[in-house]
Each structure stands twice: as structure tokens, then as C-alpha cells.
């Protein structure tokens, strides 16, 4: 599993469904320099755990927006599958009411770039993906800052749903550090005390190896 933290988020352009409308050439590049992004991968449309996560992000969308964070979902389904699922009401197992972008990673290149693709696959000598059976995405979540750098990543196995509270907490921690220069200890939450980093001590520690 690749660690992308501290590295530029892999760029992509793909079809997506945004507020019920299919759009072409959707890219995270539109947010660079303007917004933070939480990009989360989920395994599959028309499943059981996935809609609980998609609705949770929608239910807390205003909290992310108040923090200047754009929420973007992605799975290996097609854009038409996303659109079809959006037509199904929430009480019928659908995701009706979800407005944030849902990216269609139909050719699996986005999931592969973020190293969350699960299944039996390899690449040939030309770099083309070869697979046996179905390929879907783990429950990966990536917090990307306004410079396009991954600051946090979390990857869960398929049966394990994520925590919206933790996603919000990690955004608050990053923004607190950026605004105040203070580092955030274990279980830090917005409004609680943070810590001043002792840069000289840290440098001396690293120099000793």
C-alpha cells in the first residue's frame, strides 16, 4: 500500500455526477489554490454499507463547506450507475439527495493511482491494466490541502465503515496547524489546547537519527 501523505495528490480527469447531472472531464485541479478536498473511495453502488457513508457526508456537508472543504466520492462504477442510484430514494436503499460529486472510475486508473484498488490485477509491459474478475475500491479517504498535497490518508477494508467525526476532526487539526503553527496531540478536537512545536529540539533529535 502506497503512502501518499506529503506528496501531490494524483491528478485525473473522468466523468462524474454532480448534483444529479452527468459532467465530463471532472478533475480535482479545479479546487487547487481555492479549497481543501476530501476524496473518498467506496466499493460499489447499490450496496449496504456504502449508502450509510454517502448519506453521512451529505448530512454533514454544511460542516465541511464551512471549513472550505469539497467532498468528492469515487467508485469503479460508471457515471450512469451513479446516476441510477441517485434516482432511488434514501428509504429504499438509494442515495437520493446526494449533491456532491461522484466520480466514475470506470477504467480503474484513479483507484490504482491512489493504491486503493482491490482484486487480482497487474500491468503489462505497456502499462495497461490486466485483471481477472471484478475490481473495486477499498474504503480509502484522502485529505488534500489547497496546494494539492495529501495531508492525511485512511484505508479501510470493505466491511468497515468510516467515521465522519474523525474526518471533520482531522480537517480541524490541519487547519489549526496552518493558522496557528501549533501541533495537535492525541484525540485533539477543535477548541482544545494544542502544543507549540519545539523546532530546535526536533531538528536535534532528527540529526541524532
User: Does the global pTM surpass 0.85?
Assistant: yes
Place of cell 503553527: 181
pLDDT of 203: 42
Residue 84 Cα to chain centre, angstroms: 22
Residue 197 CB contacts under 8 Å (≥ 6 apart), including other chains: 181, 182, 183
Active site residue 50: yes
Is a pLDDT exceeding 60 seen at residue 208?
A: no
Residue 8 DSSP code: B
The pLDDT assigned to 2 comes to 85
CA distance 33 to 185: 27
Residue 83 has pLDDT above 90, yes or no: yes
Domain with CATH 3.40.30.10 in the chain: 14-160
Proportion of the chain above pLDDT 70, given as a percent: 89
Q: Are 25 and 125 in contact (CB under 8 A)?
A: no
Give pLDDT, residue 134.
Answer: 78
Mean pLDDT value of segment 142-157: 97
Cell numbers representing residue 114 in the block: 491512489
Which member of 14, 37, 38, 50 is catalytic?
Answer: 50
Average pLDDT over residues 189-206: 67
Say how many CA atoms lie within 13 Å of 37 toward its Cβ: 27
Q: Examine the pLDDT at 207 and tell me if it is beyond 50.
A: no
Confidence of residue 126 (pLDDT cuts 50, 70, 90): confident
Average pLDDT rounded to a whole number, residues 135-164: 96
The CATH superfamily label for domain 14-160 reads: Glutaredoxin (3.40.30.10)
- The crossing angle, in degrees rounded to 10, of helices 49-59 and 164-180 is 40
State residue 127's pLDDT score: 73
Q: Up-side HSE of residue 201: CA atoms within 13 Å toward CB? A: 3
* Whole-number average pLDDT of the chain: 90
pLDDT in tens, 14-33: 999 999 999 999 999 999 99
**Averaged over 91-103, what is the pLDDT?**
96
Alpha helices in 87-197, H assignment, sequence order: 109-113, 164-180
**pLDDT value of residue 200:** 47
Backbone angles phi, psi at 208, to 5 degrees: -75, -15
Say which range, 125-139, 142-156, 171-185, has the weakest mean pLDDT: 125-139
Amino acid at each position: 500500500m502506497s503512502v501518499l501523505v506529503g506528496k501531490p495528490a494524483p491528478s485525473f480527469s473522468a466523468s462524474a455526477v454532480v448534483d444529479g447531472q452527468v459532467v465530463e472531464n471532472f478533475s480535482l485541479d479545479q479546487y487547487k489554490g481555492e479549497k481543501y478536498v476530501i476524496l473518498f473511495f467506496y466499493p460499489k453502488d447499490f450496496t449496504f454499507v456504502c449508502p450509510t457513508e454517502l448519506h453521512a457526508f451529505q448530512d454533514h456537508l454544511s460542516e465541511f463547506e464551512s471549513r472550505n472543504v469539497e467532498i468528492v466520492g469515487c467508485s469503479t462504477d460508471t457515471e450512469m450507475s451513479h446516476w441510477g442510484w441517485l434516482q432511488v430514494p434514501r428509504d429504499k436503499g438509494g442515495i437520493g439527495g446526494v449533491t456532491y460529486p461522484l466520480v466514475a472510475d470506470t477504467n480503474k486508473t484513479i483507484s490504482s493511482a491512489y493504491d486503493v484498488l482491490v482484486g487480482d490485477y497487474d500491468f503489462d509491459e505497456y502499462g495497461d491494466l490486466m485483471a481477472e474478475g471484478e475490481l473495486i475500491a477499498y474504503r480509502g479517504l484522502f485529505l488534500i490541502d489547497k496546494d494539492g498535497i495529501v495531508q492525511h490518508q485512511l484505508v479501510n477494508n470493505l466491511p468497515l465503515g468510516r467515521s465522519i467525526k474523525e474526518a471533520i476532526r482531522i480537517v480541524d487539526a490541519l487547519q489549526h496547524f496552518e493558522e496557528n503553527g501549533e501541533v495537535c496531540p492525541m484525540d485533539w478536537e477543535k477548541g482544545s489546547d494544542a502544543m507549540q512545536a519545539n523546532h530546535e529540539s526536533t531538528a536535534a533529535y532528527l540529526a541524532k537519527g
